[in-house]
């Protein structure tokens, strides 16, 4: 993606620009390139946290099934343990151990542990489910931070809604560190009639996200058209986000067309 500085200098020299103008134009080129790379990294980090969110949801539901003695033996799944403080029924402390690596139905290879504190049943309005990560990896990406899902109840005419907050989010691979934060509303659109199976779920996502790329580029995103997400295929199939990056023109992520727009220029979104 990064353009050759020598090539840029050569082209700009043909325009007859002086040295100061050259430096300014080169900096503009580099800013655009870094901005594009930051957005490509965002597409990666947001997907990793979506995968983590799916894992958290499945873990809580599996633990609830286990609590009601309905859990079927699944030798391919992670080891799930549920504990309390020994006095009160809630909160419950759930540990999900993927060991050295287990591939889920979504094709994601997970290893390490999730630690979840649940204040009540997943589908109970007002329940809060807080997840932290211990040496946790997804397809080679290390995921860190705190994931909090709060059940906001059924929105009239919409469906069951959860507020999802990710704080101190971080994804690391090959030494590159990407930071990530999220505050969003997730509305359950499909799959509510099979509550113990998340893999047929589809939902709409609204809210804000922000982060810092591996090169230190800060960005902030707001959803302008709800993002529609399918859990099993791990895809956002439609929706739009507006992006703010200092020094760049208006940016839009269009998931309907898998396109990043920067001003009047378009670039394919990395899958």
pLDDT tens-digit profile of 197-239? 777 778 898 999 999 999 888 889 999 999 888 777 767 889 9
Long-range contacts, 53-56 (Cβ 8 Å, 24+): 53/147, 53/149, 53/164, 54/106, 54/198, 54/231, 54/234, 55/96, 55/104, 55/108, 55/110, 55/114, 55/138, 56/114, 56/116, 56/129, 56/131, 56/147, 56/149
Average pLDDT over residues 101-110: 87
166 in Cβ contact with 145 (< 8 Å) = yes
Q: Is residue 247 part of a domain?
A: no
- Proportion of the chain above pLDDT 70, given as a percent: 79
Q: Is residue 267 part of a domain?
A: no
Total domains in the chain come to 1
Q: What range does the domain containing 21 cover?
A: 5-222
Q: Is residue 251 part of a domain?
A: no
* CA 261 – CA 80 distance, rounded (Å): 43
Q: Is residue 101 part of a domain?
A: yes
Q: Is residue 99 part of a domain?
A: yes
Q: Is residue 248 part of a domain?
A: no
Q: Is residue 160 part of a domain?
A: yes
pTM (2 decimals)?
A: 0.79
Q: Is residue 138 part of a domain?
A: yes
DSSP collapsed to 3 states, 156-184: CCCEEEEEEEEEEEEEEECCEEEEEEEEE
What pLDDT does 260 receive? 81
* CA 64 – CA 263 distance, rounded (Å): 48
168 in Cβ contact with 177 (< 8 Å) = no
């Amino acid at each position: 993606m990064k353009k050759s500085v020598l090539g840029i200098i050569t082209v700009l020299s043909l325009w007859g620009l002086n040295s100061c103008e050259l430096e300014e134009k080169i900096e503009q080129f580099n800013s655009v390139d870094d901005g594009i790379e930051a957005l490509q990294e965002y597409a990666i980090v947001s997907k990793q946290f979506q995968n983590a969110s799916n894992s958290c949801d499945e873990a809580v539901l599996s633990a609830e099934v286990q609590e009601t003695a309905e859990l079927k033996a699944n030798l391919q799944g992670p080891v799930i343990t549920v504990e309390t403080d020994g006095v009160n029924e809630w909160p419950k402390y759930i540990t999900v151990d993927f060991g050295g690596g287990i591939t889920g139905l979504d094709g994601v290879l997970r290893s390490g542990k999730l630690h979840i504190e649940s204040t009540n049943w997943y589908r109970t309005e007002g329940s809060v489910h807080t997840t932290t990560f211990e040496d946790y990896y997804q397809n080679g990406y290390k995921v860190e931070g705190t994931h909090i899902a709060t059940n906001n109840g059924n929105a009239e005419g919409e469906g069951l809604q959860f507020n999802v907050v990710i704080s101190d989010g971080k994804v690391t691979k090959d030494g590159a560190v990407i930071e990530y934060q999220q505050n969003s509303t997730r509305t359950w659109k499909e799959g509510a009639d099979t509550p113990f199976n998340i893999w047929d779920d589809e939902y709409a996502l609204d809210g804000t996200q922000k982060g810092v790329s591996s090169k230190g580029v800060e960005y902030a995103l707001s959803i302008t058209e709800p993002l529609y997400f399918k859990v099993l295929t791990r895809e956002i199939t439609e929706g739009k986000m507006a992006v703010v990056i200092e020094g760049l023109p208006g940016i839009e992520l269009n998931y309907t067309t898998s396109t990043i727009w920067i001003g009047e220029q378009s670039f394919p979104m990395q899958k």
